[in-house]
Amino acid sequence: MAENTISFVFPAFISDYRDDPSREVPVFHEVFQEYLSKAAGLAGSELLAFHPESNPLLQNELLNQYISYIYGCSCAGILLNSGIKPVMTAGYSMGIYASLYSTGSISFETGLLFIQKAYEAIRSTVPGDHYGMCGVIGLSEKDIREIAVHYNLNLAIVNCNSDHSFIIAGDSFHINVFLLKAREEGALHARSLGVSIPYHTNLLTEASKLLAETVSTADVHAPGIPVISVLSQEMITDAEQVRREVVKNICHPFNWLATQLKMFNSGVRIFTECGPSQALRKNSKFIPGGGKFVNWNTLVNTL
Amino acid sequence: MAKITENTRTEVREIVLAFFAEECEADKSQIKDNTSIIKDLDGDSLMFLELIEIFKKKYNLDIELKTIGKYAVKHPVETIGQLIEMQMLIIELENRLLELEK
């Protein structure tokens, strides 16, 4: 397996632990607990109650994001310590923070700070129960736009996962109407993502300005490994680009399909998902010519 | 419109069983017509979509996903047997699948 063609990719949130590769990596528990303890000291002791089976914290948007970040940092640390170095990394949505940590651009503590400050900024500018997000599979972008126009729905397509899989955000009532109509129009799958924040929409523009105050003074370095922007598919190679990306990330749509294809076209042949849910691996099956996913435990255990 | 033969039926069944056995790490011999895709195999909609793509490619089918989705709203698929029957209809009727509703 040629190690110089690997990319680490980081999910935003955790949906379940059914396929968690960490069970096959004995050192993971110890590494994870170390990061968890550090995070609990900085971000809140409720994190210490986390357990993947009995208390997975999946329903709390902020805690879920912290756990996903801690998992991603633990996973990347183990891979790097095993001598597996990627040629580039990418973070799906809020996976950006673990992606940056894995490249040495930010410290673990700075990543936690960005998550915390982004959440606080969003909560201070966007009402808690007015918005939502949903995923739809089986309709084209044109179909989705036609539903939104026909029913006068104030929604935004915030990500394209593949030609037939999209993420949509906006007013929660409009999201619910959209879900009903999308099913009627033939969506094979349409469901709420269970979040109350319209990530990647211009509704978070004010929040991004508040986040910029923290990011502008934070300790940020040039990534030691290129990070690909999921917003523009450009390579992020210096500290100022990192700062701009972190600020812009919360209020701009992204394109995962284009990002994965850009990585493949840049020479990446193997992707490994630094998370427990394997959602990006599953999605990859619908990206023709997009490369192969290998579970991170397999990479660690085959060395 | 494709002509469905006994061979087609056998082939479709074989593909569906092999697919779920691999995806769900299940014993192929234990997957029956009344096996629930979600409850027994922990399957999901992405698997359904993947299977559709496999059949579209294999039989060079001309059918839009939303046509299948509209049909599935009225004829929900819960078991392996129902899924095989739906795949047979998709292969046979392609984009004319919804004409069955008329």
Smallest CA–CA distance, residue B70 to chain A, in Å, is 4
Query: Under an 8 A CB cutoff, do B45 and A137 touch?
Result: yes
Interface residue A18 vs chain B (CB under 8 A): yes
Is B15 within the bounds of a domain? yes
Give me the helix-helix angle, A108-125 and A205-217, nearest 10°.
Answer: 150
Listed residue (A41, A101, A45) closest to A68, CA to CA: A101
- Verify whether the Cβ–Cβ distance B73 to A139 is below 8 Å: no
| pLDDT reported for residue A19 | 85
Alpha carbon of A263: minimum distance to chain B alpha carbons (Å): 23
Which tens digits make up the pLDDT trace of A134-166?
999 999 999 999 999 999 999 999 999 999 999
Best of B51, B65, B98 to mutate (most A CBs within 10 Å, chain A):
B65
- Checking if the pLDDT of A4 tops 60, the result is no
Q: Where exactly does CATH 3.40.366.10 map onto chain A?
A: 3-126+201-301
Query: Which residue in A204, A92, A195 sits closest to A135, CA to CA?
Result: A195
Tell which wins on pLDDT, A221 or A285. A221
pLDDT tens digits, residue range B22-58? 999 899 999 999 999 999 998 988 899 999 999 999 9
Other residues' Cβ atoms within 10 Å of the Cβ of residue A117: 18
Q: Which of B45, B48, B66 comes nearest A186 by C-beta?
A: B66
ipTM, two decimals, is 0.86
Q: Take residue A297 and report the two structure tokens written for it.
A: 């435990």
Within chain A, which residue ranges are assigned CATH 3.30.70.250? 131-192
- Extract the tokens encoding A67: 């756990």
Per-residue pLDDT, A302: 84
Q: What is the pLDDT of residue B102?
A: 66
Across the range A84-99, mean pLDDT stands at 97
Torsion of CA A107, A110, A115, A120, to 10 degrees: 170
Enumerate the residues of chain B whose CB falls inside 8 A of the CB of residue A285: 46, 50
Structure tokens at B71: 């049909």
What is the pLDDT averaged over residues B15-23?
96
Would the CB atoms of B69 and A282 count as touching at under 8 Å? no
Q: Which domain holds residue B87?
A: 6-97
Give helix then strand counts, H and E, for chain A.
11, 10
B46 within some domain? yes
Structural domain total, chain B: 1
Strand A131-137 to A235-236 pairing: unpaired
Which residues does chain B have within 8 Å of residue A15's beta carbon, measured at their own beta carbons?
A: none
pLDDT at position B1, please? 63
The pLDDT of A120-125, averaged and rounded, is 96
CA distances from residue A77 to A72, A98, A111, A231 in whole angstroms, order as listed: 8, 10, 14, 25
Query: Which residues in chain A have Cβ-Cβ distances shorter than 8 Å to B46?
Result: 137, 189, 282-283, 285-286
3-state secondary structure of A9: strand
Q: Is B1 among the domain residues? A: no
Average pLDDT rounded to a whole number, residues A275-301? 91
Determine which of A16-20, A198-202, B25-29, B77-81 has the lowest per-residue pLDDT on average: A16-20
Place of tokens 């299948």: B68
**How far is it, in rounded angstroms, from Cα A227 to Cα A73?**
15
Given a cut of 50, is residue A3 above it in pLDDT?
no
Residues 183-222 of A with CB under 8 A from B: 183-189
- Residue B53: its chain A contacts at CB < 8 A? 286
DSSP H helices, A46-140, are 61-81, 96-102, 108-125
For residue A137, the chain B residues in CB contact (below 8 A) are: 45-46, 49
Distance CA A93, CA B18 (A): 34
**A303 vs A80, more confident:** A80
Whether residue A211 is predicted with pLDDT greater than 70 in this model: the reply is yes
In this prediction, residues A33-51 reach a mean pLDDT of: 95
- What value does the mean pLDDT of chain B take? 92
CATH superfamily membership of A131-192: Malonyl-CoA ACP transacylase, ACP-binding (3.30.70.250)
- How many other CB atoms are found less than 10 A from the CB of residue A224? 11
Region B55-81: what's the mean pLDDT? 93
| Residue B98 vs residues B54, B68, B75, B90: alpha-carbon distances, Å | 21, 8, 11, 10
Chain A 88-117, CB below 8 Å of chain B: which residues?
none
In the Cβ-directed half-sphere of A49, how many Cα atoms lie within 13 Å?
Answer: 9
Please indicate if any CB of chain B lies within 8 Å of the CB of A137.
yes
- The CATH number of the domain where B80 resides is what? 1.10.1200.10
User: For position A289, what pLDDT does the model report?
Assistant: 82
Q: Which residues pair with A160 in a beta bridge?
A: A166
Burial (CB count within 10 angstroms: exposed 0-12, middle 13-18, buried 19+), residue B75: middle
pLDDT digits (tens, 9 = 90+) for A214-265: 999 999 999 999 999 999 999 999 999 999 999 999 999 999 999 999 999 9
CATH number of A3-126+201-301: 3.40.366.10, 2.40.70.10, 3.40.50.1980, 3.70.10.10?
Answer: 3.40.366.10
> Which of A136, A137, A281 has the highest number of chain B CBs within 10 A, making it the mutation to test binding with B?
A137
Query: Would B102 be classed as within a structural domain?
Result: no
Q: Which residues of A touch B73 (CB under 8 A)?
A: 183-184, 186
Specify the 3-state DSSP secondary structure of A122. helix
Question: How much is the pLDDT for B46?
Answer: 87
**Is residue A1 pLDDT above 80, yes or no?**
no
The minimal CB distance from A187 to the residues B46, B50, B69 is found for B69
Domain-embedded: residue B70: yes
Mean pLDDT of chain A: 95
Cα separation, A235 vs A221, in Å, equals 15
